[in-house]
Amino acid sequence: MFDKLTLVSFDLCPYVQRVAIVLGEKGVPFTRVDIDLSDKPEWFKSISPFGKVPLLQVGGQVLFESSVIVEYLEETQPGPLHPTDPLEKARHRSWMEFGSSILADIWVIETTRDSELFSAKRALLREKFHRLEGELGSGPFFAGPDFCVVDAVFAPVFRYFDVFDEIVDLEVFKGLDKLAAWRKALAARPSVIGAVVADYPARLHKFLKKHDGHLLRIAALGEPIRWTRALNADGFSAQYQPKTTNKGDTAVFTSISTVPMVPF
């Protein structure tokens, strides 16, 4: 018999989704309590050492940090989602960290008004997804036919792009066929679908509007963006520069970022 589990959440949080997906995959019943992160309740502040969600309340104990919570669930609940081989398990944990770093990049894409920073992060995301493509096999999931924790980490990553794609094509997945297939398989998974409320896209749009960042300014131009690249003298890194076609609103697009080159 297990203690009753309560997941303290925020409706848009990808780290909460990671935990909710793992709980869903394992078929563990839990209660979800959503809070408003812009107006954190006192009870939450008193139990959350970092002031962040997710928290998992287990009986009288409070766990924080999504990766720690996931590992706890792995150790206590049926339906293992990690490989058993220690090296392979460690490799999966490494890619979980990679997923977390992508979430930090996405935060900048969502919120920054700095066009230069935006372009740098877009190029970095492109490079990271390209690297990830090289890790994928025949699918449909990260490690093959069985859903694993890495899948739970990346499903919320890809969910962002379902909304971003409606705004502007950032071209971060261009030519990455395995990744595209993986993204599709994850989007169809019941645990992934059930990890957010049905109007998640509308809520994310509202969040983006509130921050009124560079992403929305690009969209406001109302025309396709061409992401161009010029090879640097070192022959390895490249500059990426977004360009508009004919509106002449070049002030928005003065940024150049240098990142390791990946095929475009």
Ligand X SMILES: N[C@@H](CCC(=O)N[C@@H](CS)C(=O)NCC(=O)O)C(=O)O
Provide the 3-class DSSP secondary structure of residue 47. helix
Nearest to 231 by CA among 191, 209, 196, 258: 258
Q: Which residues are annotated as catalytic? A: 13
CA distances from 167 to 62, 111, 161, 208, 215 (A): 38, 14, 9, 11, 8
Q: Which stretch binds ligand X (CB under 6 A): 49-57, 77-85, 89-97, 192-200?
A: 49-57
Binding-site member from 65, 74, 127, 171 for ligand X (CB under 6 A): 65
CB of 72 to ligand X, least distance (A): 13
Can you say whether the dihedral through the CA atoms of 34, 39, 41, 47 is positive or negative?
positive
Q: Does 9 bind ligand X (CB under 6 A)?
A: no
Distance between alpha carbon 119 and the CA centroid of its chain, in Å? 18
Q: Does 51 bind ligand X (CB under 6 A)?
A: yes
CB of 118 to ligand X, least distance (A): 20
Q: Does 10 bind ligand X (CB under 6 A)?
A: yes
Q: Does 105 bind ligand X (CB under 6 A)?
A: no
Q: Does 62 bind ligand X (CB under 6 A)?
A: no
The Cα 261–Cα 94 span in angstroms is 23
Provide the 3-class DSSP secondary structure of residue 31. strand
Q: Does 49 bind ligand X (CB under 6 A)?
A: no
- The packing angle between helices 86-111 and 149-167, to 10°, is 20
- Segment 16-35, which members bind ligand X (CB under 6 A)? none
Q: Does 66 bind ligand X (CB under 6 A)?
A: yes
Binding-site member from 5, 7, 23, 53 for ligand X (CB under 6 A): 53
Q: Which stretch binds ligand X (CB under 6 A): 47-55, 76-84, 86-94, 217-225?
A: 47-55
Q: Does 52 bind ligand X (CB under 6 A)?
A: yes
CA atoms within 13 A on the CB side of 159: 33
- C-beta closer to ligand X: residue 70 or 123: 70
CA distances from 130 to 125, 134, 168, 173 (A): 8, 7, 19, 8
Residues that bind ligand X (CB under 6 A): 10, 13, 15, 37, 51-54, 65-67
